[in-house]
Chain A
Amino acid sequence: MESVPAARKSSSSPVVGVGLCDSVPLLWRVEDLKTVRSWGLVGALLGSLPRTPRQNGRLGRPLLLLPEEERLLSERHAALLLCWQDGGGPELHQQVEQYEEQQQRTYEEQTILALEDRKSALIRAMTPSHTGEALQVHLETLDQSFTFPRSALAVQLSTARVGLSYCPETRAFLRADWPIRVQDHCSGGVRYQVFRDLRGRGFYLTSAGKFGGDFLVYPGDPLRFHAHFIAVCLSLDQSVCLLDILAMARLGSGVKKTVLLCSPGTDGGVVYTSLQWSGMV
Protein backbone atom coordinates (compact mmCIF):
# COMPACT_ATOMS: atom_id res chain seq x y z
CA MET A 1 0.00 0.00 0.00
CA GLU A 2 1.60 3.24 -1.08
CA SER A 3 -0.31 5.79 0.93
CA VAL A 4 -2.29 5.96 4.12
CA PRO A 5 -5.83 4.70 3.41
CA ALA A 6 -8.11 7.63 2.81
CA ALA A 7 -11.01 6.39 4.89
CA ARG A 8 -11.38 3.65 7.41
CA LYS A 9 -13.29 0.77 5.91
CA SER A 10 -14.69 -1.24 8.82
CA SER A 11 -12.06 -3.63 10.14
CA SER A 12 -10.00 -4.17 7.00
CA SER A 13 -7.96 -0.98 7.35
CA PRO A 14 -5.35 -1.37 10.07
CA VAL A 15 -5.12 1.14 12.88
CA VAL A 16 -1.93 1.82 14.81
CA GLY A 17 -1.68 2.51 18.50
CA VAL A 18 0.19 5.66 19.43
CA GLY A 19 1.60 5.97 22.94
CA LEU A 20 2.07 9.45 24.32
CA CYS A 21 5.04 10.03 26.54
CA ASP A 22 4.63 13.56 27.86
CA SER A 23 2.96 14.57 24.59
CA VAL A 24 5.61 12.89 22.43
CA PRO A 25 3.96 10.40 20.02
CA LEU A 26 5.58 6.94 20.05
CA LEU A 27 4.85 3.63 18.40
CA TRP A 28 5.68 0.51 20.41
CA ARG A 29 4.32 -2.50 18.60
CA VAL A 30 6.19 -4.18 15.75
CA GLU A 31 3.04 -4.55 13.62
CA ASP A 32 2.44 -0.83 13.99
CA LEU A 33 5.96 -0.01 12.85
CA LYS A 34 5.57 -2.23 9.82
CA THR A 35 2.18 -0.81 8.97
CA VAL A 36 3.33 2.76 9.23
CA ARG A 37 6.40 2.05 7.07
CA SER A 38 4.20 0.51 4.41
CA TRP A 39 2.30 3.78 4.37
CA GLY A 40 5.51 5.66 3.62
CA LEU A 41 6.01 7.15 7.07
CA VAL A 42 9.53 6.70 8.38
CA GLY A 43 9.71 8.17 11.88
CA ALA A 44 12.84 7.79 14.00
CA LEU A 45 13.82 4.89 16.24
CA LEU A 46 14.77 5.98 19.73
CA GLY A 47 15.26 2.95 21.94
CA SER A 48 18.50 1.22 22.82
CA LEU A 49 18.87 -2.47 22.14
CA PRO A 50 19.76 -4.42 25.31
CA ARG A 51 22.15 -6.73 23.52
CA THR A 52 24.02 -3.95 21.74
CA PRO A 53 24.29 -1.14 24.23
CA ARG A 54 26.54 1.94 24.11
CA GLN A 55 25.97 2.70 20.47
CA ASN A 56 23.41 4.59 18.50
CA GLY A 57 24.13 3.24 15.05
CA ARG A 58 21.30 0.74 15.42
CA LEU A 59 18.41 1.68 17.61
CA GLY A 60 15.21 -0.13 18.53
CA ARG A 61 11.66 0.62 19.53
CA PRO A 62 9.89 2.91 20.25
CA LEU A 63 9.51 4.82 17.00
CA LEU A 64 9.15 8.56 17.32
CA LEU A 65 6.68 10.15 14.91
CA LEU A 66 7.07 13.61 13.44
CA PRO A 67 4.21 15.91 14.45
CA GLU A 68 3.24 15.96 10.78
CA GLU A 69 3.18 12.16 10.66
CA GLU A 70 0.98 11.95 13.73
CA ARG A 71 -1.36 14.50 12.26
CA LEU A 72 -1.58 12.66 8.96
CA LEU A 73 -2.47 9.45 10.79
CA SER A 74 -5.16 11.12 12.84
CA GLU A 75 -6.66 12.82 9.77
CA ARG A 76 -6.91 9.45 8.06
CA HIS A 77 -8.41 7.93 11.21
CA ALA A 78 -5.62 5.42 11.21
CA ALA A 79 -4.39 5.87 14.76
CA LEU A 80 -5.66 5.43 18.28
CA LEU A 81 -4.10 6.27 21.60
CA LEU A 82 -2.62 3.71 23.90
CA CYS A 83 -4.13 4.53 27.21
CA TRP A 84 -2.39 3.59 30.40
CA GLN A 85 -3.11 4.49 33.97
CA ASP A 86 -0.72 6.98 35.32
CA GLY A 87 -0.29 8.09 38.90
CA GLY A 88 0.06 4.62 40.36
CA GLY A 89 -2.84 2.56 41.53
CA PRO A 90 -2.86 -0.46 43.83
CA GLU A 91 -1.49 -2.83 41.20
CA LEU A 92 1.51 -0.66 40.59
CA HIS A 93 2.27 -0.30 44.30
CA GLN A 94 2.07 -4.04 44.72
CA GLN A 95 4.47 -4.55 41.83
CA VAL A 96 6.90 -2.09 43.32
CA GLU A 97 6.74 -3.84 46.69
CA GLN A 98 7.32 -7.22 45.11
CA TYR A 99 10.28 -5.87 43.21
CA GLU A 100 11.85 -4.39 46.32
CA GLU A 101 11.32 -7.59 48.32
CA GLN A 102 12.99 -9.54 45.56
CA GLN A 103 15.92 -7.15 45.55
CA GLN A 104 16.31 -7.52 49.30
CA ARG A 105 16.33 -11.33 49.04
CA THR A 106 18.98 -11.19 46.35
CA TYR A 107 21.02 -8.84 48.45
CA GLU A 108 20.98 -11.18 51.44
CA GLU A 109 21.92 -14.17 49.29
CA GLN A 110 24.72 -12.27 47.68
CA THR A 111 26.05 -11.07 51.04
CA ILE A 112 26.42 -14.66 52.21
CA LEU A 113 28.11 -15.70 49.01
CA ALA A 114 30.45 -12.72 49.09
CA LEU A 115 31.49 -13.52 52.65
CA GLU A 116 32.26 -17.11 51.73
CA ASP A 117 34.29 -15.86 48.81
CA ARG A 118 36.35 -13.58 51.04
CA LYS A 119 36.96 -16.37 53.53
CA SER A 120 38.22 -18.78 50.93
CA ALA A 121 40.41 -16.07 49.49
CA LEU A 122 41.84 -15.49 52.96
CA ILE A 123 42.54 -19.18 53.45
CA ARG A 124 44.26 -19.39 50.09
CA ALA A 125 46.34 -16.34 50.89
CA MET A 126 47.54 -17.78 54.19
CA THR A 127 51.00 -19.39 53.98
CA PRO A 128 51.61 -22.73 55.74
CA SER A 129 53.77 -20.99 58.35
CA HIS A 130 50.74 -19.33 59.86
CA THR A 131 49.19 -21.24 62.69
CA GLY A 132 45.65 -22.45 62.62
CA GLU A 133 44.76 -20.16 65.50
CA ALA A 134 45.72 -16.99 63.69
CA LEU A 135 43.64 -18.11 60.79
CA GLN A 136 40.65 -18.64 63.04
CA VAL A 137 41.05 -15.18 64.50
CA HIS A 138 41.13 -13.66 61.07
CA LEU A 139 38.06 -15.55 59.99
CA GLU A 140 36.14 -14.46 63.03
CA THR A 141 37.01 -10.80 62.55
CA LEU A 142 35.86 -11.16 58.99
CA ASP A 143 32.55 -12.62 60.14
CA GLN A 144 31.90 -9.70 62.38
CA SER A 145 33.13 -6.81 60.32
CA PHE A 146 32.21 -7.84 56.81
CA THR A 147 29.70 -5.70 55.02
CA PHE A 148 28.49 -6.12 51.48
CA PRO A 149 27.94 -2.71 49.91
CA ARG A 150 24.66 -2.18 48.16
CA SER A 151 26.42 -0.69 45.17
CA ALA A 152 28.13 -4.04 44.56
CA LEU A 153 24.82 -5.81 44.20
CA ALA A 154 24.57 -7.67 40.91
CA VAL A 155 21.21 -7.00 39.31
CA GLN A 156 19.88 -9.33 36.69
CA LEU A 157 18.31 -7.76 33.61
CA SER A 158 16.31 -9.96 31.33
CA THR A 159 17.46 -9.54 27.74
CA ALA A 160 15.70 -12.52 26.29
CA ARG A 161 13.01 -11.86 23.74
CA VAL A 162 10.33 -11.27 26.26
CA GLY A 163 8.51 -8.90 23.97
CA LEU A 164 6.15 -6.17 24.86
CA SER A 165 3.09 -8.40 24.98
CA TYR A 166 4.52 -10.97 27.38
CA CYS A 167 2.93 -9.93 30.64
CA PRO A 168 -0.80 -9.42 31.06
CA GLU A 169 -0.15 -5.89 32.39
CA THR A 170 1.75 -4.84 29.30
CA ARG A 171 -0.88 -6.47 27.10
CA ALA A 172 -3.46 -4.27 28.73
CA PHE A 173 -1.15 -1.31 28.27
CA LEU A 174 -0.91 -2.00 24.56
CA ARG A 175 -4.63 -2.14 23.95
CA ALA A 176 -5.32 1.00 21.99
CA ASP A 177 -8.84 2.23 22.13
CA TRP A 178 -8.73 5.89 22.99
CA PRO A 179 -9.36 8.42 20.24
CA ILE A 180 -6.19 10.18 19.12
CA ARG A 181 -5.73 13.66 20.48
CA VAL A 182 -6.81 16.59 18.39
CA GLN A 183 -3.88 18.86 17.67
CA ASP A 184 -4.80 22.43 18.21
CA HIS A 185 -3.03 24.44 15.57
CA CYS A 186 -4.57 26.50 12.81
CA SER A 187 -5.97 24.46 9.96
CA GLY A 188 -2.98 23.47 7.90
CA GLY A 189 0.30 24.70 9.30
CA VAL A 190 2.86 25.49 6.61
CA ARG A 191 4.99 22.47 7.47
CA TYR A 192 2.05 20.12 7.56
CA GLN A 193 0.71 21.20 4.17
CA VAL A 194 4.13 20.69 2.59
CA PHE A 195 4.49 17.32 4.32
CA ARG A 196 1.12 16.14 3.15
CA ASP A 197 1.70 17.28 -0.41
CA LEU A 198 5.12 15.65 -0.74
CA ARG A 199 3.92 12.45 0.91
CA GLY A 200 1.00 12.43 -1.50
CA ARG A 201 3.49 12.53 -4.39
CA GLY A 202 5.16 9.42 -3.06
CA PHE A 203 8.22 10.92 -1.39
CA TYR A 204 9.46 9.73 1.97
CA LEU A 205 10.23 12.46 4.48
CA THR A 206 12.33 12.57 7.62
CA SER A 207 13.43 15.43 9.77
CA ALA A 208 16.36 17.43 8.44
CA GLY A 209 17.91 18.74 11.63
CA LYS A 210 21.41 17.84 10.45
CA PHE A 211 21.05 20.01 7.37
CA GLY A 212 19.31 23.05 8.76
CA GLY A 213 16.10 22.42 6.86
CA ASP A 214 12.65 21.19 7.74
CA PHE A 215 12.54 17.83 5.96
CA LEU A 216 14.79 15.53 4.02
CA VAL A 217 12.98 14.28 0.92
CA TYR A 218 13.75 10.81 -0.41
CA PRO A 219 12.52 9.43 -3.73
CA GLY A 220 11.84 6.10 -2.01
CA ASP A 221 12.49 4.28 1.23
CA PRO A 222 15.44 5.90 3.05
CA LEU A 223 17.01 2.48 3.47
CA ARG A 224 17.43 2.30 -0.29
CA PHE A 225 18.05 5.87 -1.41
CA HIS A 226 19.95 9.00 -0.52
CA ALA A 227 17.83 12.09 -0.04
CA HIS A 228 17.44 14.30 -3.09
CA PHE A 229 16.10 17.43 -1.45
CA ILE A 230 16.35 19.50 1.68
CA ALA A 231 12.90 21.01 2.07
CA VAL A 232 12.62 24.42 3.69
CA CYS A 233 9.03 25.36 4.51
CA LEU A 234 8.05 28.98 4.57
CA SER A 235 4.99 31.00 3.73
CA LEU A 236 4.95 32.93 0.48
CA ASP A 237 5.13 36.27 2.25
CA GLN A 238 7.81 35.37 4.73
CA SER A 239 10.92 37.50 4.34
CA VAL A 240 14.22 35.62 4.21
CA CYS A 241 17.70 37.10 4.48
CA LEU A 242 19.65 36.73 1.26
CA LEU A 243 22.60 35.49 3.29
CA ASP A 244 20.48 32.62 4.58
CA ILE A 245 19.49 31.66 1.04
CA LEU A 246 23.15 31.69 0.03
CA ALA A 247 24.11 29.55 3.02
CA MET A 248 21.40 27.00 2.28
CA ALA A 249 22.26 26.72 -1.39
CA ARG A 250 25.95 26.29 -0.62
CA LEU A 251 25.20 23.61 1.98
CA GLY A 252 22.95 21.82 -0.44
CA SER A 253 25.59 21.73 -3.13
CA GLY A 254 28.13 20.51 -0.62
CA VAL A 255 26.03 17.49 0.29
CA LYS A 256 24.71 16.84 -3.25
CA LYS A 257 21.12 17.75 -2.48
CA THR A 258 18.86 20.39 -3.96
CA VAL A 259 17.40 22.93 -1.56
CA LEU A 260 13.68 23.16 -2.04
CA LEU A 261 11.76 26.26 -0.99
CA CYS A 262 8.22 25.08 -0.27
CA SER A 263 5.24 27.32 0.29
CA PRO A 264 1.53 26.55 0.41
CA GLY A 265 -0.06 28.40 -2.48
CA THR A 266 -3.34 30.23 -2.63
CA ASP A 267 -5.20 27.43 -4.42
CA GLY A 268 -4.52 24.74 -1.83
CA GLY A 269 -1.50 23.36 -3.63
CA VAL A 270 2.14 23.87 -2.77
CA VAL A 271 4.69 25.78 -4.87
CA TYR A 272 8.24 24.56 -5.03
CA THR A 273 11.37 26.42 -6.06
CA SER A 274 14.63 24.52 -6.48
CA LEU A 275 17.79 26.29 -5.42
CA GLN A 276 21.02 25.15 -6.94
CA TRP A 277 24.54 26.41 -6.87
CA SER A 278 25.19 27.98 -10.25
CA GLY A 279 28.78 26.90 -10.68
CA MET A 280 29.59 30.25 -12.27
CA VAL A 281 33.02 31.00 -10.95
Chain B
Amino acid sequence: MLGTSGRPGVTEKPPPPNWILVHPTYQQMKTLEVGDSAQVHAAFLVYMDLAEEHYILTVTLILSFAVRRWKEVSCVKSPELQVVLLEGREKEGAPVHTVLPLPVDQSLSHKSIRHVLDRGFPVLLCAVASDSTLVYQRMTDGLVTPDPPVGPFQDVGRRQHRKRRQQH
Protein backbone atom coordinates (compact mmCIF):
# COMPACT_ATOMS: atom_id res chain seq x y z
CA MET B 1 0.00 0.00 0.00
CA LEU B 2 1.71 3.16 1.14
CA GLY B 3 5.11 3.59 2.69
CA THR B 4 5.96 6.05 5.42
CA SER B 5 7.16 8.58 2.86
CA GLY B 6 3.55 8.94 1.79
CA ARG B 7 4.31 8.71 -1.91
CA PRO B 8 3.02 6.05 -4.22
CA GLY B 9 5.59 3.67 -5.55
CA VAL B 10 7.71 3.92 -2.44
CA THR B 11 6.36 0.90 -0.63
CA GLU B 12 8.23 -0.77 2.14
CA LYS B 13 6.69 -4.19 1.88
CA PRO B 14 3.82 -5.68 -0.14
CA PRO B 15 0.48 -6.00 1.67
CA PRO B 16 -0.51 -9.46 2.94
CA PRO B 17 -2.84 -11.38 0.60
CA ASN B 18 -5.67 -11.16 3.10
CA TRP B 19 -5.28 -7.45 3.77
CA ILE B 20 -8.99 -6.84 3.25
CA LEU B 21 -9.98 -9.42 5.84
CA VAL B 22 -7.71 -7.96 8.50
CA HIS B 23 -8.61 -4.36 7.75
CA PRO B 24 -10.29 -2.82 10.83
CA THR B 25 -13.09 -1.25 8.82
CA TYR B 26 -13.88 -4.51 7.12
CA GLN B 27 -13.98 -6.28 10.42
CA GLN B 28 -16.27 -3.57 11.73
CA MET B 29 -18.59 -4.17 8.79
CA LYS B 30 -18.62 -7.88 9.54
CA THR B 31 -19.93 -7.18 13.02
CA LEU B 32 -23.03 -5.59 11.51
CA GLU B 33 -24.05 -9.10 10.53
CA VAL B 34 -25.38 -8.43 7.07
CA GLY B 35 -25.98 -11.75 5.35
CA ASP B 36 -25.00 -10.65 1.84
CA SER B 37 -21.21 -11.05 1.72
CA ALA B 38 -21.00 -9.68 -1.82
CA GLN B 39 -22.64 -6.49 -0.62
CA VAL B 40 -20.27 -6.23 2.34
CA HIS B 41 -17.31 -6.61 0.00
CA ALA B 42 -18.78 -3.92 -2.26
CA ALA B 43 -19.28 -1.66 0.75
CA PHE B 44 -15.65 -2.10 1.72
CA LEU B 45 -14.44 -1.18 -1.75
CA VAL B 46 -16.54 1.97 -1.65
CA TYR B 47 -15.15 2.79 1.77
CA MET B 48 -11.63 2.49 0.40
CA ASP B 49 -12.53 4.72 -2.52
CA LEU B 50 -13.96 7.41 -0.29
CA ALA B 51 -11.70 7.39 2.70
CA GLU B 52 -8.34 5.82 2.03
CA GLU B 53 -5.66 5.97 -0.57
CA HIS B 54 -5.68 3.16 -3.03
CA TYR B 55 -4.50 2.21 -6.47
CA ILE B 56 -6.87 1.80 -9.35
CA LEU B 57 -6.18 0.25 -12.69
CA THR B 58 -7.70 2.59 -15.24
CA VAL B 59 -9.20 1.66 -18.56
CA THR B 60 -5.95 2.46 -20.31
CA LEU B 61 -4.16 -0.02 -18.03
CA ILE B 62 -2.33 2.72 -16.21
CA LEU B 63 -1.99 2.13 -12.50
CA SER B 64 -2.97 5.39 -10.89
CA PHE B 65 -3.20 6.58 -7.36
CA ALA B 66 -6.61 7.73 -6.16
CA VAL B 67 -7.78 9.39 -3.02
CA ARG B 68 -10.92 11.29 -2.14
CA ARG B 69 -10.32 11.71 1.56
CA TRP B 70 -13.85 11.94 2.77
CA LYS B 71 -14.24 12.82 6.44
CA GLU B 72 -15.89 10.89 9.24
CA VAL B 73 -16.71 7.89 7.11
CA SER B 74 -18.59 5.29 9.10
CA CYS B 75 -20.60 2.20 8.29
CA VAL B 76 -24.10 1.46 9.50
CA LYS B 77 -26.63 -1.25 8.85
CA SER B 78 -29.94 -0.59 7.14
CA PRO B 79 -32.54 -2.78 8.86
CA GLU B 80 -35.06 -2.53 6.00
CA LEU B 81 -32.63 -3.43 3.26
CA GLN B 82 -30.26 -5.62 5.28
CA VAL B 83 -27.23 -3.96 3.73
CA VAL B 84 -24.20 -2.00 4.90
CA LEU B 85 -24.54 1.73 4.31
CA LEU B 86 -21.77 4.29 4.54
CA GLU B 87 -22.06 7.81 5.89
CA GLY B 88 -19.57 10.61 5.52
CA ARG B 89 -18.77 14.14 4.50
CA GLU B 90 -16.91 15.05 1.34
CA LYS B 91 -14.89 17.57 3.34
CA GLU B 92 -15.07 19.52 6.60
CA GLY B 93 -18.35 21.31 6.92
CA ALA B 94 -19.94 19.56 3.96
CA PRO B 95 -23.31 17.92 4.56
CA VAL B 96 -23.42 14.28 5.54
CA HIS B 97 -24.16 11.90 2.68
CA THR B 98 -25.50 8.37 2.80
CA VAL B 99 -23.82 6.02 0.36
CA LEU B 100 -25.56 2.84 -0.76
CA PRO B 101 -22.99 0.41 -2.18
CA LEU B 102 -24.37 -2.41 -4.31
CA PRO B 103 -22.86 -5.01 -6.60
CA VAL B 104 -23.87 -4.14 -10.13
CA ASP B 105 -25.58 -7.45 -10.78
CA GLN B 106 -28.15 -6.90 -8.04
CA SER B 107 -31.56 -5.33 -8.37
CA LEU B 108 -33.45 -3.01 -6.11
CA SER B 109 -36.88 -1.49 -5.79
CA HIS B 110 -38.05 2.09 -5.55
CA LYS B 111 -39.23 1.26 -2.05
CA SER B 112 -35.69 0.40 -0.93
CA ILE B 113 -34.42 3.64 -2.40
CA ARG B 114 -37.08 5.52 -0.44
CA HIS B 115 -35.99 3.79 2.77
CA VAL B 116 -32.46 5.07 2.27
CA LEU B 117 -33.74 8.56 1.39
CA ASP B 118 -35.86 8.52 4.54
CA ARG B 119 -32.68 8.69 6.63
CA GLY B 120 -32.70 12.36 5.79
CA PHE B 121 -29.37 12.77 4.04
CA PRO B 122 -28.58 13.17 0.37
CA VAL B 123 -28.01 9.73 -1.08
CA LEU B 124 -25.31 8.46 -3.38
CA LEU B 125 -25.88 5.08 -4.97
CA CYS B 126 -22.61 3.36 -5.80
CA ALA B 127 -22.59 0.45 -8.24
CA VAL B 128 -19.60 -1.87 -7.85
CA ALA B 129 -18.61 -3.94 -10.85
CA SER B 130 -16.83 -7.26 -10.71
CA ASP B 131 -13.56 -5.56 -11.63
CA SER B 132 -14.05 -3.13 -8.74
CA THR B 133 -15.01 -0.22 -10.98
CA LEU B 134 -17.20 2.19 -9.04
CA VAL B 135 -19.97 4.38 -10.40
CA TYR B 136 -21.74 6.94 -8.22
CA GLN B 137 -25.19 8.36 -8.77
CA ARG B 138 -27.06 11.01 -6.89
CA MET B 139 -30.58 10.27 -5.71
CA THR B 140 -32.83 12.98 -4.34
CA ASP B 141 -36.44 13.12 -3.23
CA GLY B 142 -38.69 15.19 -5.44
CA LEU B 143 -38.22 16.82 -8.80
CA VAL B 144 -34.75 18.27 -9.29
CA THR B 145 -34.55 20.53 -12.32
CA PRO B 146 -31.50 19.70 -14.42
CA ASP B 147 -28.75 22.23 -14.96
CA PRO B 148 -29.46 24.44 -17.94
CA PRO B 149 -27.21 24.16 -20.98
CA VAL B 150 -24.02 26.19 -20.72
CA GLY B 151 -23.64 29.31 -22.81
CA PRO B 152 -22.47 31.40 -24.54
CA PHE B 153 -25.14 30.84 -27.10
CA GLN B 154 -24.77 31.90 -30.69
CA ASP B 155 -27.41 32.14 -33.30
CA VAL B 156 -26.31 29.94 -36.15
CA GLY B 157 -27.22 32.53 -38.74
CA ARG B 158 -28.67 32.21 -42.19
CA ARG B 159 -25.40 31.22 -43.82
CA GLN B 160 -25.37 27.92 -41.96
CA HIS B 161 -28.93 27.19 -42.94
CA ARG B 162 -28.19 27.91 -46.55
CA LYS B 163 -25.19 25.64 -46.43
CA ARG B 164 -27.29 22.83 -45.05
CA ARG B 165 -29.93 23.33 -47.75
CA GLN B 166 -27.38 23.10 -50.52
CA GLN B 167 -26.25 19.74 -49.27
CA HIS B 168 -29.60 18.17 -50.01
Verify if B143 is at the interface (C-beta below 8 Å from A): yes
Verify if B146 is at the interface (C-beta below 8 Å from A): yes
Q: Give CA–CA (A278, B145) in the complex, Å.
A: 15
Nearest-CB residue, chain A, relative to B141: A273
Query: Would you list which residues of chain A between 247 and 277 have a CB under 8 Å from chain B?
Result: 249, 252, 256-258, 260-261, 263, 271-277
B143 touches A275 (CB 8 A): no
B106 touches A242 (CB 8 A): yes
A261 touches B113 (CB 8 A): yes
B124: min CB distance to chain A, Å? 6
B138 touches A277 (CB 8 A): yes
Nearest-CB residue, chain B, relative to A239: B107
A273 touches B137 (CB 8 A): no
Verify if B149 is at the interface (C-beta below 8 Å from A): yes
B144 touches A274 (CB 8 A): yes
Verify if A121 is at the interface (C-beta below 8 Å from B): no
Verify if B117 is at the interface (C-beta below 8 Å from A): yes
* CB contact between B146 and one of A245, A258, A272, A273 (< 8 Å): that residue: A258
Number of interface residues of A (CB under 8 A): 32
A227: min CB distance to chain B, Å? 9
A273 touches B140 (CB 8 A): yes
Q: Give CA–CA (A246, B127) in the complex, Å.
A: 8
Nearest-CB residue, chain A, relative to B134: A280
Query: Would you list which residues of chain B between 98 and 148 have a CB under 8 Å from chain A?
Result: 102-111, 113-114, 117, 124-125, 127, 135-148
Contacts of B125 in A (CB 8 A): 245
Contacts of B135 in A (CB 8 A): 246
Contacts of A258 in B (CB 8 A): 143-146
Contacts of A240 in B (CB 8 A): 107-110
> Taking beta carbons and an 8 Å cutoff, which residues of B are in contact with A?
68, 102-111, 113-114, 117, 124-125, 127, 135-149
> Taking beta carbons and an 8 Å cutoff, which residues of A are in contact with B?
219, 228-229, 234-243, 245-246, 249, 252, 256-258, 260-261, 263, 271-278, 280
Can you name 13 A-B pairs with beta carbons within 8 Å?
A: A219-B145, A229-B146, A236-B111, A238-B109, A239-B109, A240-B110, A242-B108, A246-B104, A260-B143, A271-B114, A273-B139, A275-B137, A276-B144
What 10 A-B pairs have minimum CB-CB distances, sorted nearest first?
A274-B144, A278-B136, A236-B111, A276-B138, A280-B136, A239-B107, A274-B140, A258-B146, A263-B110, A278-B138
